[in-house]
Chain A
């Protein structure tokens, strides 16, 4: 939270043009938010392992334990994020897209919390879980974009509209970026995938579709993690 607050205050100080600040903020968000969510969630899960064991010996449903863990972690992360980002925004003003930034950032936090829970229940020790979590983060923030770029470049002779759309939907970070970009009107600056998306979808339809898909990205890994957890040997 402090990190977010200070970095955003710093960015506001550096530049007087709010939309530029918001853009820089967005880039930081897209990389840092998933990272913090993944690391914090895996560490938390393995630190509360004893506690989960204790709870399992009590007459409590496994589903209840898991849902409680998930809500506790994701809520605290989302609240941290919202407070950290909104404080400087309120002070300096965000030029209209602050709300979108907050919403997509919050959903992104949920998405990566879910993914990290999935990683945590699938692994048996902390080091492996954190390693795998970092891999997931690295993949979605860097590698995936490179792959998309490569595909688009290699097959540029063919019509790629639908293919690119599908590829983008398969990456929550890209989706969150598009959510923000559609509001920012600077899509051309925001990397190849962002530019594509704007071409295909009008502002409103694009906003709702990407939000919906992003929510799916939060729900499905969490649901899978719940199912693994119910069958896990502790």
Chain B
């Protein structure tokens, strides 16, 4: 569904993403992990066309995305930090986005209601707390039933109840056949949600396998432990190469 072919991105001299090739399929939920600054957000932004790759090509649904924009109808995006115009109210924001995206197959307002956003339609975005903004972002991402959902740190800043609501929603949509790309630093969240693990380090893919294989390989049953094992293994191999 999404394929990245030898993607690199340079910001000045900094090589943010280094020669990545990936194939992402529906029905899977990919957990994108890696230390801060390893290129996760850059990769996501390149799929969205917000950052243009220095070289390589990205295809969504078999279509090149360079210079195209129509494909974004298929993607719901929840940014790491939801930033919205200050003076707009929640109600106006949803109205506007609805006008921009002509919903062809109806709308999914489940999150909108379960996060109780309908009770604060008149609130201005400026007055909202970080968590409430996250809820708005999440509700917007799911609103148009897109087949691809990209969630950048979806649970950061949410209260425990909302985290559960969101996780249930992700689970449900994943089972319905959607493609998820989720980045997070909270392994226990990813444990329930992801089917595949992609570990990025300094812009390169170090590890890319289904969770079941990962757990088998490392002999750990919990994702957190399994992941930290591959990270440590990776660190020792790079260190020994250096010496």
- Are the CB atoms of A59 and B72 closer together than 8 Å? yes
Cβ contacts under 8 Å, B48 to chain A = 56-57
**8 Å CB contact of B83 from A54, A58, A60, A61:** A54
Query: Taking CB as reference atom, which chain B residue is nearest A50?
Result: B83
Question: What per-residue 1/0 map shows which CB atoms of B1-25 lie under 8 Å from chain A?
Answer: 0000000000100000000000000
Chain A CB within 8 A of B101 CB: yes
Establish whether residues B101 and A59, one from each chain, have CB atoms under 8 Å apart when the complex forms: yes
| A227 in the interface (beta carbon within 8 A) | no
Q: Quick one: given A48-B85, A51-B85, A233-B52, are A57 and B70 in contact (CB under 8 Å)?
A: no
Q: Which single residue of chain A is at the shortest CB-CB distance from B88?
A: A51
A125 lies within 8 A of chain B by Cβ:
no
Which residues of chain A are within 8 angstroms of B51 by Cβ–Cβ distance?
Answer: 233-234
> Complex: how many Å from CA A56 to CA B83?
13
Docked CA distance A220–B25 (Å): 44
Interface residues of A in 202-217 (CB under 8 A from B): none
- Which A-chain residue is minimally distant from B93 (CB atoms)? A54
Residues of chain A within 8 A of B79, CB atoms compared: 53, 57
Per a CB cutoff under 8 Å, which of B11, B49, B101 touches A56?
B49
Give the residue among A51, A55, A57 with the most B Cβ atoms within 10 A.
A57
Q: Hey, what's the 0/1 contact readout for B62-88 against A, CB within 8 Å counting as 1? A: 000000011111010101000111000
Complex Cα spacing A62 to B79, Å: 19
Which A residue sits closest to B74, measured CB to CB? A59
- Chain A: minimal CB distance from B70 (Å): 6
Residues 32 to 80 of chain B near chain A (Cβ within 8 Å): 45, 48-52, 69-73, 75, 77, 79
Do A62 and B69 touch (CB < 8 A)?
yes
Residues B85 and A59 in contact, CB atoms below 8 Å apart: no
Give A18-32 as 1s and 0s: 1 = Cβ < 8 Å from B's Cβ atoms.
000000000000000
Inter-subunit contact B85/A58 (CB<8 Å): no
Complex partner residue of A59 from B11, B50, B52, B70, CB under 8 angstroms? B70
* Residue pair A234, B50 in contact (C-beta under 8 Å): yes
* Residues in chain A near residue B49, CB distance under 8 A: 56
Check A56 against B84 for contact (C-beta < 8 Å): no
Q: Contacts A233-B50, A233-B51; is A59 near B71 (CB within 8 Å)?
A: yes
Chain B 174-199 interface residues, beta-carbon cutoff 8 Å to A:
none
Across the interface, name the chain B residue whose C-beta is closest to A48: B85
Which among A48, A50, A57, A60 is the interface contact of B50 at CB below 8 angstroms? A57
Kindly list chain B residues whose C-beta atoms are within 8 Å of the C-beta of A56: 48-50
B165 at the interface (CB under 8 A from A): no
Give A32 to B50 CA distance when docked, in angstroms.
36
- A48: chain B residues at CB < 8 Å are 85
Quick one: given A48-B85, A58-B101, A60-B100, are A53 and B69 in contact (CB under 8 Å)?
no
Chain B residues contacting A58 (CB-CB under 8 Å) are 72, 97, 100-101
CA distance A51 to B85 in the complex (A): 6
Interface residues of A (CB under 8 A from B): 48, 50-51, 53-62, 231, 233-234
Other A-B pairs beyond A50-B84, A53-B83, 9, CB < 8 Å: A50-B85, A53-B79, A54-B85, A55-B100, A56-B48, A56-B50, A60-B100, A233-B11, A233-B51
Can you list 10 A-B contacts (CB < 8 A)?
A: A54-B84, A57-B50, A58-B101, A60-B72, A61-B69, A62-B69, A231-B52, A233-B11, A233-B50, A234-B45
Residues of B within 8 A of A (CB): 11, 45, 48-52, 69-73, 75, 77, 79, 83-85, 97, 100-101
